[in-house]
């Protein structure tokens, strides 16, 4: 196993994990299921692309609130309001896909982390 793959996926790919946690929070598990159950790299790549595309659409149409020069975006569904995490940085996406191509288990661990713990908004976001 690749030593790079052993580093905590939550730490290394926190922005991707938080985006997927958001989908878990609103009970849209399809992206997590497809990434976690993928048998090949192409499935992971396509599921992540769809997740980012869907999240980007939600993010771009979200309500925005500014507090102390900080911007927060909110998503509302079924009478509930959710603070959105930020969109994953390109460098994090590229690195995750590189590692997933080398060792498919990285994708499974990422999905497990996203399902296991709730998304908590950090002040710096």
Residue 31: alpha-carbon gap to chain centroid: 9
Give the mean pLDDT of 12-36: 95
**% of the chain at pLDDT higher than 70:** 88
Tens digits of residue pLDDT in 103-119:
999 999 999 999 987 66
pTM above 0.95, yes or no: no
- In the numeric block, the tokens 């790299």 are attached to 41
Domains (ranges, CATH) in the chain? 3-116 (1.20.120.1610)
Tens digits of residue pLDDT in 58-84:
999 999 999 888 889 999 998 999 999
Is a pLDDT exceeding 70 seen at residue 125? no
Non-local CB neighbours of 102 within 8 Å, separated by 6+ positions: 2, 5
């Amino acid at each position: 196993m690749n030593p790079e793959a052993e580093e905590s996926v939550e730490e290394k790919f926190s922005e991707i994990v938080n985006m997927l946690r958001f989908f878990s929070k609103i009970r849209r598990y399809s992206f997590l299921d497809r990434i976690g159950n993928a048998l090949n790299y192409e499935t992971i790549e396509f599921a992540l692309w769809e997740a980012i595309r869907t999240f980007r659409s939600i993010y771009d149409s979200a309500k925005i609130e500014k507090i102390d020069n900080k911007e927060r975006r909110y998503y509302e569904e079924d009478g509930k309001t959710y603070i959105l995490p930020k969109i994953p940085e390109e460098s994090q996406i590229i690195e995750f896909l590189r590692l997933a191509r080398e060792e498919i288990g990285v994708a499974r661990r990422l999905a497990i982390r996203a399902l296991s713990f709730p998304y908590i908004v950090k002040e710096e976001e």
